Structure 1
């Protein structure tokens, strides 16, 4: 008698209650390879639709998400524990990005003429962008709609098929998105789902995709890159952050304090571009800190933000708080008893040494450090003294643009929290341990396409250089021409 083994599965849990909200397959390497093979066939069909055909179908999907937003928000809430309003916010932003990508793909990726130059003026020069083929997207759990769709939407609009591996903490969100896409685009498996743990994600990097888009920690991003390097598969990495917020002496302190509290504590601090460090001009430091503490006291875990989605992160948050206090820091709110079994109370830390874990490492929890600086030069220097370089925020009435340009980050918001994330035309990405490459905006569309250069001869060149019949007279003429054109310094 042959024993039939059930396929491996894993449960998705509600982090607020540990209730099982779904059971999903752990897809094997063979199953992932089969999905990629199906995607390669679907990619040819999807690319053949052209920009208009794809935009029409992506419009159907966008409309379905918008109509059924409450349904999707409920799935997000079940798997992350975040409040309905926070779930709605990320879905709304994801819809905006999907709409922009579909609408602007032709303008960004369509054929463009280039000047051929004087020597090759007989040529017509152009460049256009072709789809890469199949994109593997490995998504995170903290924003399981907005973040992966920042890659999925742009990859699809550029003409690629996508195999999507959501986080093992939010597989239901991934399934909902893929299922609704299949309803809008039933013809071919252009967007497919694979579920599982880290091994499934590793299998996707080795399955023959044409590019990997990964969002997660820097440590896991390095593993993804190493696996992709085996087949020279290109990657775009959106890793963690330790984002600073700068408060100048002329800042609107109420607005800056509100942005700090929102940026640090929304989504339980589980935001890669959230506010983790604040540097405040000494002239307004005391007043600013008082406003932050006053606003933060009104923030209630379980009402204003959800639990820590990944239980292991509780230990990281606890370690950072304890290290900060042991090194001489003070907790004006929260502190060593802030970390509970599921939730973390808002924690405001001051006088924390710059070389402490709470300042150097990504906390990814509802804590924030606030430091006094003599001036904005010191603020910029300390903000830039980090291995991360994702996002940043500046509050200043007079020097906002100047300070923003000096910050070593991929994007900066001035006088508002995280505004760059909601503007679909702006690229998003980091440097250093925050990764590389860009999603969103024109750069995000080009991230999932390959440039194709074409030179077409319109008529024979009067001066033929690329032939063995080239004469000494021609060489002398070219020499004189170049000297006349470029010889003057």
Structure 2
């Protein structure tokens, strides 16, 4: 059902001021129009930055990062912690921006904001992750060895439109804490959230040039940003990720990529049906299904299949679809006309080829220009586009399976490997099944929050779902160059000129023998 609530309101003067945070050189710039998905009307404009602007942003960040890196970790952490406090205090403003730019339900925006606050807390206390670390030396106490973690220099973060706060700022926080300068390239559909976040970082005490924002078209800016940076973090489609990886490879710039997913949900024969249905609702429809970890394929044991589908349909039809600024609306709008066409094309293709639309399946212009009903499909077959392609919308296909083995095999039958979830009464069985799934994160009896919210544990994809990890120690150390320093307490490890070669190799053999023994 739809909920006709009051929509969040834009402050034109405020948006105009935020646009000035973007990095740009001298002279006028063309403007990009940012659309409000709830209405389809223009929300505001930002500069269409050029390759020269991107070069300028990288230069500024590189110059500023040296002074920033010279500060102690504790000083840098104090800025990040103040930012977290300021962000929390400004949460209503950010929730308005998240809704205005992205069309998401306010509750989904609140979860996104909480993710950034938790990153500030976690990485603000993570100084030990970058402290010099003792390692075992080649000759024990005779060659003490340690590893130092140095900032890379300039980190460019290219973030998508679906989670514009967490996928830009939550990645920027560890990069800044590691002592780097940062250049943010937000998606052209959702630039204002990143602009406001950087404004707030500066208010928290971040030196002005350490974090830059360039707004504009990725194709125009991408090559300059990659070539000028020392590390690139990209979140987005597989197709664009390949281009980023190719450009990074040509310039020998390391990168991390979080790309698409076609995530499976497994409901084993011993699962609690109520828990499984709640998990499907909680996983498939937040942000109108526009999140990379949402389950789009649900495999249910034959013995539970019909009952599960019936209960899932009832629960889906109880969801509220709307554009309001309240916290009770369940599903907001799709983000753009392009997203609407993709979702509608997948559903229509499935319908025409024999799939059953159990509920939903309709565009709802009475709610908003890009609103689409939460949809449950059955009888989906391999020739349908939604069978293997990522829909990235409020659509889930449910399939019966005869055994756990079949569920695992079908879950792994994909080019993607980002996220998966397993529902079962046995936690041990859930863990055992999870270990057999080709996915970077797997939750048991929850769709994704338990893994996504585990900030101390790495998150990322297998197969074509990406390279590298965010979160945890891996999520901050990737922004550093790791340097090994070893001290020899006996001078050069080489034989004196007067020692015969046979004596030298015999002595080294004795050392190896002792090490292998003890």
Q: Give 1:327 deviation, angstroms.
A: 3.0
2:216 aligned with 1:216, yes or no?
no
| Whole-angstrom distance in 2 between the partners of 1:483 and 1:189 | 52
Report what 2:360 is aligned to: 334
Q: Deviations over 1:435-463 (max 9, x none)?
A: 110111111011111111010123447xx
Report what 2:142 is aligned to: 122
Report what 1:401 is aligned to: 431
Equivalent of residue 445 in structure 1, options 476, 489, 494: 476
Q: Deviations over 1:394-450 (max 9, x none)?
A: 111221100111110110111112121112111111022211101111110111111
Q: Give 1:13 deviation, angstroms.
A: 1.1
SS in 2 for 1:279: strand
TM-score by length of 1: 0.94
Report what 1:347 is aligned to: 375
2:274 aligned with 1:254, yes or no?
yes
Report what 1:432 is aligned to: 463
Kept in 1: contact 2:291–2:392 (CA 8 A): yes
Tell me, which stretches of 5 or more residues in structure 1 are unaligned? Answer: none
Kept in 1: contact 2:104–2:334 (CA 8 A): no
Q: 1:467 to 1:401 in 2, by over 3 A?
A: farther
2:191 aligned with 1:171, yes or no?
yes
Report what 2:503 is aligned to: 474
2:303 aligned with 1:283, yes or no?
yes
Report what 2:253 is aligned to: 233
| Whole-angstrom distance in 2 between the partners of 1:283 and 1:333 | 22
Q: 1:130 to 1:373 in 2, by over 3 A?
A: same
| Whole-angstrom distance in 1 between the partners of 2:44 and 2:176 | 27
| Whole-angstrom distance in 2 between the partners of 1:198 and 1:386 | 28
CA RMSD of aligned residues (A): 2.0
Q: 1:453 to 1:338 in 2, by over 3 A?
A: same
| Whole-angstrom distance in 2 between the partners of 1:483 and 1:197 | 58
Q: 1:72 to 1:254 in 2, by over 3 A?
A: same
Q: 1:127 to 1:480 in 2, by over 3 A?
A: closer
Instruction: Between 108-117 and 362-371, report the one with greater CA deviation.
Output: 108-117
Q: How many aligned positions are there?
A: 480
Q: Give 1:158 deviation, angstroms.
A: 1.4
| Whole-angstrom distance in 2 between the partners of 1:324 and 1:375 | 25
Q: 1:248 to 1:469 in 2, by over 3 A?
A: farther
SS in 2 for 1:457: coil
Report what 2:9 is aligned to: none
SS in 2 for 1:255: helix
| Whole-angstrom distance in 1 between the partners of 2:498 and 2:380 | 75
Kept in 2: contact 1:138–1:201 (CA 8 A): no
SS in 1 for 2:285: helix
SS in 2 for 1:439: coil
Kept in 2: contact 1:390–1:430 (CA 8 A): yes
Q: 1:455 to 1:486 in 2, by over 3 A?
A: closer
| Whole-angstrom distance in 2 between the partners of 1:328 and 1:7 | 50
| Whole-angstrom distance in 2 between the partners of 1:11 and 1:466 | 71
Q: Give 1:204 deviation, angstroms.
A: 4.3
Kept in 1: contact 2:183–2:211 (CA 8 A): yes
| Whole-angstrom distance in 2 between the partners of 1:178 and 1:390 | 29
Equivalent of residue 465 in structure 1, options 479, 494, 498: 494
Alignment of 1:50-449 (within 5 A): 50-104=72-126, 106-117=127-138, 119=139, 121-302=141-322, 303-335=329-361, 337-338=362-363, 341-398=369-426, 399-418=429-448, 419-449=450-480
Q: Deviations over 1:365-388 (max 9, x none)?
A: 100000000111111110111111
Instruction: Between 211-220 and 417-426, report the one with greater CA deviation.
Output: 417-426
